[in-house]
Amino acid sequence: MENNELKHNTESMKTANQPGIYKLIIFGVVVCMVGTYARFAYDSWQVSLASWIVLFIGAIIAIKGVFKILDA
């Protein structure tokens, strides 16, 4: 029983359970959703380009949170 408790109290497990990391991932997903919905808002290349940029920024934010969990 004691050995099992030690496995769950490692430093990487504590880092992975920080709420800030999951808030970062959720924020990134929300930004991606805004970028996706903006693609269908208006038919012009300027809005399409801006929506792609927003989409990629959101993806980078979400991936950054995942890498924090993986401690890479």
What DSSP string describes 23-39?
HHHHHHHHHHHHHHHHH
The per-residue pLDDT for 72 is 54
Cα dihedral across residues 67, 22, 24, 18: positive or negative: negative
pTM to 2 decimals? Answer: 0.78
The per-residue pLDDT for 57 is 96
The per-residue pLDDT for 70 is 85
**Residuewise pLDDT in 10s, the chain (72 residues):** 455 555 667 777 777 788 899 999 999 999 999 999 988 888 888 989 999 999 999 999 999 999 988 875
Helix 19-39 crosses helix 45-70 at what angle (to 10 degrees)?
160
Strand segments (E) across 1-72: none
Widest CA span in the chain = 62
